[in-house]
Amino acid sequence: MIWLGDKHVNMMMEELVVRLALDPETASKTIVALFTFQIQINNNSKVKAYTKNNSLLLHHYQKQIAEGVEKIYFPININSNHWIAGVINIPAQSIGYSMNE
């Protein structure tokens, strides 16, 4: 049995970005984040600091949200053996997971 790792998940997320680009209206309101997104959030929670220097990706996403992005989809690893899609819905001010949204 072969397990999916971070690299496999990032490849799938990159494919979603390519497919998303086919619909410019949805693409302008949506971010498909790579595994790096989860890593930066975890790192910032440990140091209890969020600055442009230690979180360039998060700072970039913050600018995109100001320009109209409404949702951020990102991979979440559960117990080191299962992946689900996390979603941040900016207008609804909610964070959750999506199995098929």
Q: Tens digits of per-residue pLDDT, 33-64? A: 988 888 888 888 888 877 777 788 888 999 99
pLDDT given at position 32: 92
In a domain, 82, yes or no: yes
In a domain, 37, yes or no: yes
- The domain total for the chain is 1
Cα distances (Å, whole numbers) of residue 42 to 51, 74, 100:
14, 13, 25
For residue 74, the domain's CATH number is 3.30.310.130
In a domain, 76, yes or no: yes
Domain that holds residue 59: 6-16+29-98
In a domain, 1, yes or no: no
pLDDT given at position 2: 62
pLDDT given at position 1: 52
pLDDT at position 17 over 50: yes
In a domain, 88, yes or no: yes
In a domain, 23, yes or no: no
pLDDT category at 99 given cuts 50, 70, 90 is: low
pLDDT at position 101 over 50: no
In a domain, 48, yes or no: yes
In a domain, 21, yes or no: no
pLDDT at position 100 over 60: no
pLDDT category at 67 given cuts 50, 70, 90 is: very high
Per-residue pLDDT, averaged over 79-95, amounts to 88
